[in-house]
Amino acid sequence: MTGADVPPGAVQAGAAVPPVVVIGPMGAGKSSVGRRVAKALGVPFTDTDRVIAREHGPIPQLFAERGEPAFRELEAAAVRRAVQIGGVVSVGGGAVMHPETRAAMAGAHVVLLTVTAEAVAARIVGSDRPLIASGGIDAWQTILDERAATYAALAHVVFDTSRRPMSRVADDVVTWVRDSAPAGTRTPPPPTSDEGAP
């Protein structure tokens, strides 16, 4: 099991086409946007949080039993494997704080999704995410403030998800990826369809 969701008929990302890594704060829509982008490009999609949970158990339990440093080591390994697979990879909000994770992202197209505290509040209600489970939106803001400079330093492009449908954000990411691809490796757009994004 690779942990990647490969759409039917997808073409595996070639070595000449850099993988796309989606970063950003908790609740920004990384998995939702990343999945749509991968589908549009016809490449694998990997959600590293999902991979870790499947291989090692629920993330809140990992935090409680093994601590954040041990979790970040597992996360770095998952990101490294996912980037080697290629396609689109969404990573946990704090993944970028680990040096090995940042190293694994070298050479990838890095997309930062941002979101305002006001917009994210409804998305994280009742969340079991370990770092905000007891602190809510205040904890979310504190964590974002700690990570913002790292996000900005890594990002090649930034899209805000606060007030736009995830499908529209994904369309913009797809356009950017295609425009950024090296000559000769650009993926042609899919056939025009009236069907809306899922």
CATH (domain of 147): 3.40.50.300
Q: What is the mean pLDDT of residues 49-76?
A: 92
- The pLDDT value recorded for residue 147 is 95
φ/ψ (deg, to 5) at 119: -70, -35
DSSP per-residue letters across 109-162: EEEEEE--HHHHHTTTTT---TTTTTTHHHHHHHHHHHHHHHHHHH-SEEEE-S
Range of the domain at 77: 19-180
d(CA 21, CA 88) in angstroms, rounded, equals 6
Whether 27 is covered by a domain: the verdict is: yes
Whether residue 63 is contained in a domain is answered as yes
Residue 125 lies in a domain: yes
How many domains does the chain fold into? 1
Closest CA to 91 of 150, 124, 50, 37: 50
Is 13 inside any structural domain? no
Q: Is residue 129 part of a domain?
A: yes
* Nearest alpha carbon to residue 78 among 62, 64, 89: 89
pTM beyond cutoff 0.95: no
Query: pLDDT tens digit string along 65-117?
Result: 999 899 999 999 999 999 999 999 999 999 999 999 999 999 999 999 999 98
**Distance between first and last Cα of the chain:** 25
Distance CA 119, CA 122 (A): 7
Q: What is the pLDDT of residue 4?
A: 52
Laid out side by side, the sheet with 20-23 consists of 4-5, 45-47, 88-90, 20-23, 109-114, 157-160
- The Cβ of residue 130 has, within 10 Å, a number of other Cβ atoms equal to 17
Q: What is the DSSP string of 128-143?
A: --TTTTTTHHHHHHHH
pLDDT of residue 191 exceeding 60: no
Tell whether 99 is covered by a domain: yes
11 in any annotated domain: no
In this prediction, residue 25 carries a pLDDT of 94
Instruction: Inform me whether the pLDDT recorded for 161 exceeds 50.
Output: yes
Looking at the domain assignment, is residue 10 inside a domain?
Answer: no
pLDDT band at 144 (very low <50, low <70, confident <90, very high): very high
